Amino acid sequence: MNLFMPKKKELILAILIGLIISSCTKETTNQSHKLTNRKFQGIPSIAISNEGRLWAIWYAGITPGEDENNYVVVSTSGDDGKSWTEKLIIDPDGKGPIRAFDPELWIDPEGKLWVFWAETIGHDGASAGLWAKTNSNPDKEDSKWSEPRRITDGVMMCKPTVLSTGEWVLPVSTWRETDNSARLIVSNDKGKTFNLRGACNVPKDVRDYDEHMIVERKDKSLWMLIRTKYGIGESISNDRGKTWSIPVQAAIEHPSARFFIRRLSSGNLLLVKHGLINEKSGRSHLTAYLSKDDGNTWLGGLLLDERNGVSYPDGQQSLDGTIHIIYDYSRTTAREISFATFTEEDIIKGDTASATVSLGKTISKFSDLGFDSRKVFIHEATVKITSQQKNNEIRYTTDGTEPNQNSLLYTKPFNVTETTNLKIREFTPDGLKRPMYEANYIKQKPIEAVSVDTNSSGLNFEYFELSESIDSLIDLDKYKPTKAGEVERFIFPYELDSLPEYFGLNFSGYIKIPSEDVYTFSVLSNDGSQLFIADNLLVDNDGKHGAHETEGEIALQKGWHKIRLSYFQAGGGKTLKVFMKSKSVKKVEIENNLLIH
């Protein structure tokens, strides 16, 4: 049996490897990577250098889904988590088809920091590649990173384990569509080379994303805990990972979600999971437990975060014994990455009021400040900033520099008359700085209207029947239209029940603008869409995702302007609506009285 890859995946993998090798070295930071432009962030990991510098990692995207827009963010703190600075963005090809996702941080036995992440096209773990970069001096904020390196096939979402033999074990998965998916990739030479040692074959009917973690027990056997459809499965190996028992349901109740287990310096086991040990809950009530008997029984129960929507814990114990646990909350709304610190004694007592317990510390989240992150204007625009923290100071700059406590103090709204890049930061009464945000106020000359020699209402459309699911509108260019015709507005031209699982649409025509102004157009779609006004890409809602609305602003003269929209459906729900608004026009769905072709 092939433990590596079924043959039907080999061609995909070969193509993907070629793309990644040419693109992986690009570590770009551009406007799309700014926190204010993120519609998604989550799946975090944490590491602590030997001298106590904190490192955090997660992945993010400009769309709210897990799609080709995903990139990896690496942040660091030199003041015990009071303030954080993003130091590295891993985005292989920008808006290209490759997504960077599911990262992990790890400090190896020699003190080197490893950054792991996966790359693939679409959502196929079998054709994904596990990549890594290293930092030999993680105690320093600006130390040098190695070149990226492809380790193996698959995805690794949990920390490596160092065995008593000195071997490094990476828990890498090829996900649900492959047998023997929960694999052990082992290095005998401190990370110079990695090879497949063995794999656990989770039965297909309960197989999920694996996200397996490995503990070496005191009798030298290996205990694997695995995410399954029923919760947590367990498997045992008595030959250092070459062969594994058939997984059975563990005594630990859990939803199908990532948990965290790790051997502490005391020899005890740490477990962070949702809810009580013997009761299955949803993704809430993230709680830490301790075992002194290799996982046979669990003690304590320190509640770290009870909110619905907390998930994906990861952690490390620092050299002073403090336990650090990172997790995410509300990946597409709050977009929050948080962490907690505590000790083994705190777990046993379950006392959140202990002096050594610190909960809910924010690493990154969507802004608490109220302001327009991007605003187009013709003559002038008003800058208005609000804060939910009334005692905080808001400082800002307009010259491109980062705001500090000596920068301009915001006290009331003010106007700008030229294109302005505004950088904003809150400071707490005790001088702690919050994350920095950017706002771009863009002065724009209204685009001139065009002359048209038609009065046929509605739009032209092209319809594409697709042979398979696609990931992006780029892939629609490979197809020729199956049908063409006219339609009243931006609607599906055929009855929903008659449409196939996979299809695409192009709409084109002209839209009537009632008066000169700045207009906001938005598209609500499931799956991907792009809207062009006067041949400018204004709304980019591309990629596979559920129903999601994205908008863009543009200054337009009164009259007719070219409008076109592309859309694709990759299975599941079907949604397509296009809206417009301005100061004088309330938000409305665009109807045929404004459209001609």
Which domains are seen in the chain, by residue range? Answer: 1-155 (2.120.10.10), 374-443 (2.60.40), 459-596 (2.60.120.1560)
What is the pLDDT at residue 53?
97
Contact between 182 and 173 (Cβ < 8 Å): yes
CA 529 vs CA 38, 62, 170, 595: distances in Å: 18, 14, 38, 19
- The contacts of residue 261 (CB under 8 Å, 6+ apart) are 213, 215, 225, 269, 270, 271, 272, 295
Which DSSP state fits 489? S
pTM: 0.72
DSSP string, 334-402: T-EEEEEEE-HHHHHHT-TTSTT-EEEEEEE-S-SSB--SEEEESS-EEE--B-S-TTSEEEEESSSSP
Write out pLDDT tens, residues 58-69.
999 988 888 888
Query: Residue 326's closest CA among 269, 272, 267?
Result: 272
* Cα within 13 Å of Cα(459), Cβ side: 29
Write out pLDDT tens, residues 527-584.
899 999 999 999 998 888 777 788 899 999 999 999 999 999 988 888 999 999 998 8
- Which regions in the chain score pLDDT beneath 70? 1-31, 367-373
What is the pLDDT at residue 243?
98
Peptide bond into 179 cis (omega under 30): no
What is the pLDDT at residue 31?
66
Residues present in the chain in total: 597
Query: Residue 314's closest CA among 250, 262, 256?
Result: 262
What is the pLDDT at residue 2?
36
Bridge-based pairing state of the strands 502-513 and 459-465: antiparallel
Helix or strand run (H / E) with residue 98:
strand 98-107
Distance of alpha carbon 352 from alpha carbon 81, whole angstroms: 19
Q: Which residue has the tokens 């969507």?
A: 366
Helix, strand, coil percentages, rounded to 5, for the chain: 5, 45, 45
Helix or strand run (H / E) with residue 54:
strand 54-61
What is the pLDDT at residue 439?
84
Which DSSP state fits 406? T
